Amino acid sequence: MKTITQQKPLEEILESIARDTSVFIVGCGTCATLCRTGGVEEVAVMAEKLRDAGKIVTGTAVPPTGCDEVTGEMGRALRDPLAGADVVLVMSCAFGVQTAASQLKKPVAPALDTLFMGKEGPAGRYSEICMQCGQCVLSATGGICPVTVCHKGLLNGPCGGTNEGMCEVGSGRECAWTLIYGRLQAQGRLDAMRKYQAPKSYNATLRPGMIDLTHSREEAAKQ
């Protein structure tokens, strides 16, 4: 599972850094590199575009991961080009942007929009696989998540908008419940689909998500 990102329109990026003259660009060696939105190549292209737009690019960096303390180490190693920049343009997911904001102590601007947690299918096609709802129902749905894959997150079967296995919202999205039906039928487990599913608890993961696992770790260590 990785964080799927998409580059913002250049106009929007330039608007967000309109007051800034000099820019340091940070990419990400993991998810954004795999998505081809924030790897070495994309960072170089962005640097060129910013220069064309009249900005001074003081430096660029693509840390192995944009979302951990490596960003801070990178910041110390690249102290001078960073110090000369008015803003850090971050070509990673929102996690990387927030990490840069807290560790580099500079104003930041995201160059990417974070879309979803997903998997890569054939030829650069990505699809969402988990919404982190905190109440996994996959045992009842053949390992296909209706909360994520069904546009409406329906728990008790398909709506009337499904057609020949496709979802009414279009763009090639498949009907989750047709997929679930097919898999459960093949497994001889359609009884799982016949069972009433009560409304989800949106209190299962109170947003913003936060959990203290130290107690359970101590318990595990004792055993």
- What minimum distance in Å lies between the beta carbon of 120 and other proteins? 24
- Member of 2, 106, 151, 183 binding other proteins (CB under 8 A): 151
20: alpha, beta or left, given left = phi > 0 and alpha = psi -120 to 50? beta
Q: How many residues does the chain have?
A: 223
- Member of 59, 72, 134, 157 binding other proteins (CB under 8 A): 157
- What minimum distance in Å lies between the beta carbon of 104 and other proteins? 33
Taking the least distance from each CB to other proteins, the nearer of 61 and 184 is: 184
Q: Which among 198, 27, 213 is positioned nearest to 110, based on CA atoms?
A: 27
Number of CB atoms found within 10 A of residue 72's CB? 16
Q: Which among 108, 169, 126 is positioned nearest to 35, based on CA atoms?
A: 126
What CA dihedral angle connects 143, 148, 154 and 157, to 10 degrees?
Answer: -30
- Member of 159, 174, 189, 205 binding other proteins (CB under 8 A): 159
- What minimum distance in Å lies between the beta carbon of 183 and other proteins? 11
Helix (DSSP H) and strand (DSSP E) numbers for the chain: 10, 7
Choose one: 10-18, 19-27, 123-131, 187-195; the region binding other proteins (CB under 8 A): 187-195
- What minimum distance in Å lies between the beta carbon of 17 and other proteins? 25
Q: Which of residues 166-185 bind other proteins (CB under 8 A)?
A: 167-169, 177-178, 180-181, 185
* 193 three-class SS: helix
Residues found near other proteins in the complex (CB under 8 A): 151-165, 167-169, 177-178, 180-181, 185, 190, 193-194, 196-199, 202
